Structure 1
Amino acid sequence: MSQVIEKPWALMRHHAGWADVFRVESETADAVTGFYPDRETVGPPVTYSVRAVLARFTTFEGAHGAREGGVAEWRKHDAAVREAEARLKEAEKIREAAWTDFLKAQGEQS
């Protein structure tokens, strides 16, 4: 008897800001097994922990649309991330300068 999966399409965490559409063929409480239909070559089914599943959908179109919307949502924050990275680099330069200045001053005192 085959298992009916109510929401057989999943978005799987790929890397920060990106998810891949995954077709769930079977599942347990701890894992999902299936394949990536968007890949050029579809190999044997693969199994992942359910923690890799970001969201579940009833249709491929729903999963694909959510993935594209997620990318757009991620991109909305790009400028803020770049600004934060620039502030972090400046803070690291200040920290480095303070450290080396301290060590030089200590060397001059001895």
Structure 2
Amino acid sequence: MSDGIARPWALMRHHAGWADVFLIEKETADSITGVYPDRETVGPPVNYSMRAVLARFETLEGARAAREGAVLEWRKHDAAVRDAETALRAAEKAREDAWLTCLRGSAG
């Protein structure tokens, strides 16, 4: 029995901070084929590289619980990310102002 049969549920990266539950229906050494059961419209099976799998689980409930726990962990860092983004915007503004000041000084 392959690992894909034993653990047919996977979490696939959807976007930063979110993973979608994926049902693996078939796999090879290089790729997996399956569907996203939590989406409103479950379309035809899709194929991905094995690298797209973030984690594998034996049950749907296990995959969903892991996803929710990971979201909570992600959210713990929201304030630090906002602070870093604010500092980055301030640094970019200072860089832009310095660049404009240099250009204007050179034109004089």
TM-score range relative to shorter protein:
over 0.9
Percent same amino acid among aligned pairs?
68
- Please give the alpha-carbon distance, in whole angstroms, between the structure 1 residues aligned to 2:16 and 2:40: 22
- Name the residue aligned to 2:78: 78
Shift of 1:43: 1.7
TM-score normalised by structure 2 residue count: 0.94
SS at match of 1:44: coil
Shift of 1:69: 0.6
- Please give the alpha-carbon distance, in whole angstroms, between the structure 2 residues aligned to 1:34 and 1:107: 62
In structure 2, give the amino acid aligned to 1:27.
Answer: E
- Please give the alpha-carbon distance, in whole angstroms, between the structure 2 residues aligned to 1:41 and 1:87: 41
- Please give the alpha-carbon distance, in whole angstroms, between the structure 2 residues aligned to 1:38 and 1:26: 18
- Please give the alpha-carbon distance, in whole angstroms, between the structure 2 residues aligned to 1:34 and 1:17: 22
- Please give the alpha-carbon distance, in whole angstroms, between the structure 2 residues aligned to 1:92 and 1:105: 20
Cα deviation digits, residues 4-23 of structure 1 (max 9, x gap): 71110000110000000000
Task: Describe how 1:19-34 pairs up with structure 2 within 5 A.
Answer: 19-34=19-34
Shift of 1:92: 0.6
Task: Describe how 1:1-110 pairs up with structure 2 within 5 A.
Answer: 5-108=5-108
Aligned residues: 107
Shift of 1:35: 0.7
Larger radius of gyration between Structure 1 and Structure 2: 1
- Consecutive unaligned residues of structure 2, counting only runs of 5 or more, are none
In structure 1, give the amino acid aligned to 2:76.
Answer: K
- Please give the alpha-carbon distance, in whole angstroms, between the structure 1 residues aligned to 2:40 and 2:90: 43
TM-score normalised by structure 1 residue count: 0.92
In structure 1, give the amino acid aligned to 2:23.
Answer: R
Q: CA RMSD of the aligned region, Å?
A: 1.4
Runs of at least 4 residues off by over 6 Å: none
